[in-house]
Structure 1
Amino acid sequence: MTNVVSIENARVAAEAKPERVGVLLVNLGTPDTADTRGVRVYLKEFLSDPRVIENQGLLWKLALNGVILNTRPRRKARDYLKIWNTEKNESPLKTITRAQSEKLAVSISDHDHVVVDWAMRYGNPSIRSRIDALMAQGCDRLLVVPLYPQYSAATSATVCDEVFRVLSEKRAQPTLRVTPPYYEDPSYIEALAVSIDAHIKSLPFVPELIVASFHGMPQKYIDQGDPYQAQCVATTDALRKQMGLDAAKLILTFQSRFGFDEWLQPYTDKTIAQLAKDGVRRIAVVTPGFSADCLETLEEIAQENAEIFTHNGGEQFAAIPCLNDSDPGMDVIRQLVLRELQGWI
């Protein structure tokens, strides 16, 4: 009789449990504070990931803990302070990713059993904490949305690594889906073109050309099979076609190199310096590899590279914002999510 009661209680509990779908937007990450300590904690987690720095041998650990974490955080903290959202005491990446999550939730609110949340791969809120929160709300299915238009092992794959790590510790795992990269999705390309065109029309000058700057990576990662570079090229080609521009008017470059290895070329900073030296006086830079503005766009491009351009003879420089939580940007995310939720909603 006891066994019968236990089985019946389990059946009732299973029927009462709400069946919900969790949608988790994930971006790269950010320090919790714009000071040396906060940046050091963030960089240690980021640079200890073997997807980011593949050779995690003794020499790298000595360099990381003995040199990099004792020098780089102080300098980077100064950079973060230049762009910090002082009102909310957080980085713009965190502010924007939260807004993307909130707006997505509103835009698909007619599906009342879908719960939208957001996380950072490095830093807070962590992927672990948000998966736990979604499961606590009854989500037995989970769609993970890496907010990277182009796939790379150092971005999209490491999001999956962490999700799998978290789920490996769960006895009752949610059913899992992960959105694919959307580097040449028509809605994404159209949104980029609309955003670029609108911002250029708002400028007090007409750019002679547009630089499409993507985050770089070591060339050896590509040589070992990472598809990232090919997808950046595909994005740029599709954007040229959408905007009716030739290769001379929309050029592709790679930024943010780190260390001594050869990285993907051409380099953004060297290209921008050379353009100015060659007599180009007015340019605009767009960053199609970023779904939200962050240190690499707001400081590295809009400030550092703007200074490089003017220092070498350039006159007018515009950094075009990422799609962020704009209407075109949210349309891209909403379409991507609804497409991948088919069969669940």
Structure 2
Amino acid sequence: MRLPPGHPAIAPTTVGVLIVNLGTPDAPTATAVRRYLAEFLSDRRVVDYPRWIWTPLLYGVILNVRPARSAKAYAKIWTREGSPLRLYTGNVADALGERMADKVRVDFAMRYGAPSIRQRLFAMKEAGADRILVVPLYPQYSRSTSASVADAAFDALKSMTWQPALRVAAPFHDDPIYIAALKATAGASLSALDWAPERVILSFHGTPKRHLREGDPYHCHCLKTARLLRDAMGWTDEFAPVAFQSRFGREEWLGPATDATIRGLAEGGVRRIAVMTPGFVADCLETLEEIAIGGAETFAQSGGEKFKAIPCLNDSPSMIDLLEALVAREAAGWI
């Protein structure tokens, strides 16, 4: 572009791709976890109780009790490079950026914690991205995850004088490439064992059951993912039951609960199980501490003998293949 004399320089325009995961504290300490939980649990998409009820409970009780306990859990999974979730998400962004360097500029953000969606959207805009695709790394849509990412992305645009065009990628719970990636991961993990599981639990993050009644498709998306994965693996419903983990609060949540399912199988005589978490694309607190550590302990204490937590897609080649296909589809007309 030929500019008139004295005109400020204009960065070449490009298409940006911002992949977004849930988030993580900066360190496995009570102070860092408190800061993270304050942001997470203040999101009305996550906890939608009236503020006059929730705010005193959050700041008067929860944030004074839970951070120290959660920090101990994070310490069990922390690596030399830091949070596994941030590490895998950053690795995926780098790999996808290298693969699609001639088409898009790739970055990553966390819905809660750092780097924030706002920070990375502004950085992309400054680098010349006039069209940005936001990819929430949640296979199944939920108002407390997918919708919250969209809220944060569009909120960030409010303070921009010149806004980029913005798209938010659709969920990919039934995408054939996603199901194929899950099949490959499960197959590789199970074939490496010197024993065969009697059950493979498909554990998804739980949400309040009320959300289903109010029209959130999350439960339906989880069941469809499970059905397609069973079909791909040749598993029956009995062999691969669905369960829901990470319940928080006293409200009724989706069930059956994963911990109760693990315990019930062991008490019923099942001695060898595996647990797969198809709602998470990267290993994190919920998969590494709650399932791989806590689930294994529950199974052993209830009479079980062999337990395997199947890893998430993480930064595997199949994960990069999946994201490349998603970006090509969702950014159609831009690249």
**TM-score by structure 1 length?**
0.94
Alignment match, 2:330: 340
Do the aligned partners of 1:192 and 1:323 also contact (CA within 8 Å) in 2? yes
Where in structure 2 are the equivalents of 1:156-195 lying within 5 Å?
156-195=146-185
User: Between the two proteins, what is the percent identity of the paired residues?
Assistant: 51
Alignment match, 2:273: 283
Alignment match, 1:317: 307
Q: 1:38 aligns with which of 7, 32, 48?
A: 32
Alignment match, 1:196: 186
1:133 paired to 2:127: no
One-letter code aligned to 1:92? P
Alignment match, 1:212: 202
- Structure 1 unaligned residues grouped into runs of 5+: 1-6
Alignment match, 1:60: 54
Aligned-pair CA distance for 1:61 = 1.1
Q: Does the residue aligned with 2:73 lie in a helix, a strand or coil?
A: helix
Deviations 1:177-215 (A, max 9, x none): 111000010000011011101100001211011100000
Q: Provide the rounded CA distance (Å) in 1 between the counterparts of 2:4 and 2:99.
A: 39
Do the aligned partners of 2:11 and 2:127 also contact (CA within 8 Å) in 1? no
Aligned-pair CA distance for 1:110 = 3.2
1:20 paired to 2:14: yes
Aligned-pair CA distance for 1:9 = 5.6
Do the aligned partners of 2:275 and 2:308 also contact (CA within 8 Å) in 1? yes
Q: Provide the rounded CA distance (Å) in 2 between the counterparts of 1:242 and 1:181.
A: 20
Alignment match, 1:103: 95
One-letter code aligned to 2:28? A
1:92 paired to 2:84: yes
Q: Provide the rounded CA distance (Å) in 2 between the counterparts of 1:182 and 1:56.
A: 32
Aligned-pair CA distance for 1:103 = 0.6
Where in structure 2 are the equivalents of 1:182-261 lying within 5 Å?
182-261=172-251
Alignment match, 2:134: 144
Do the aligned partners of 1:212 and 1:288 also contact (CA within 8 Å) in 2? yes
Q: Provide the rounded CA distance (Å) in 2 between the counterparts of 1:143 and 1:291.
A: 19
Aligned-pair CA distance for 1:340 = 1.3
Q: Provide the rounded CA distance (Å) in 1 between the counterparts of 2:323 and 2:301.
A: 38
Q: Provide the rounded CA distance (Å) in 2 between the counterparts of 1:259 and 1:110.
A: 47
> Once structures 1 and 2 are overlaid, which stretch shifts more, 242-251 or 268-277?
242-251
Q: Provide the rounded CA distance (Å) in 2 between the counterparts of 1:13 and 1:232.
A: 50
How many residues are treated as equivalent by the alignment?
333
Do the aligned partners of 1:48 and 1:56 also contact (CA within 8 Å) in 2? no
Q: Provide the rounded CA distance (Å) in 1 between the counterparts of 2:255 and 2:334.
A: 42
Deviations 1:295-344 (A, max 9, x none): 00000000001100110000000000000110112111111011112211
One-letter code aligned to 2:20? V
- Compute the RMSD of aligned alpha carbons: 1.3
Q: Provide the rounded CA distance (Å) in 2 between the counterparts of 1:145 and 1:50.
A: 21
Q: Provide the rounded CA distance (Å) in 1 between the counterparts of 2:266 and 2:73.
A: 24
Q: Does the residue aligned with 2:144 lie in a helix, a strand or coil?
A: helix
Q: Provide the rounded CA distance (Å) in 1 between the counterparts of 2:58 and 2:127.
A: 39
- Structure 2 unaligned residues grouped into runs of 5+: none
One-letter code aligned to 2:90? R
Alignment match, 2:77: 83
Q: Provide the rounded CA distance (Å) in 1 between the counterparts of 2:50 and 2:321.
A: 39
Q: Provide the rounded CA distance (Å) in 2 between the counterparts of 1:130 and 1:57.
A: 29
1:300 paired to 2:290: yes
**TM-score by structure 2 length?**
0.97
One-letter code aligned to 2:86? K
Q: Provide the rounded CA distance (Å) in 1 between the counterparts of 2:84 and 2:229.
A: 26
Do the aligned partners of 1:187 and 1:332 also contact (CA within 8 Å) in 2? yes
Q: Provide the rounded CA distance (Å) in 1 between the counterparts of 2:20 and 2:233.
A: 29
Q: Provide the rounded CA distance (Å) in 1 between the counterparts of 2:11 and 2:319.
A: 35
Structure number, greater radius of gyration:
1
Q: Provide the rounded CA distance (Å) in 2 between the counterparts of 1:169 and 1:255.
A: 37
Alignment match, 1:116: 106
Do the aligned partners of 2:135 and 2:169 also contact (CA within 8 Å) in 1? yes
Runs of 4+ in 1 over 2 A off after TM superposition: 7-10
Aligned-pair CA distance for 1:109 = 2.1
Do the aligned partners of 1:50 and 1:56 also contact (CA within 8 Å) in 2? no
Q: Does the residue aligned with 1:131 lie in a helix, a strand or coil?
A: helix
Deviations 1:261-289 (A, max 9, x none): 00000100001000000000000100000
One-letter code aligned to 1:175? A
Q: Provide the rounded CA distance (Å) in 1 between the counterparts of 2:64 and 2:50.
A: 18
Q: Provide the rounded CA distance (Å) in 2 between the counterparts of 1:57 and 1:220.
A: 18
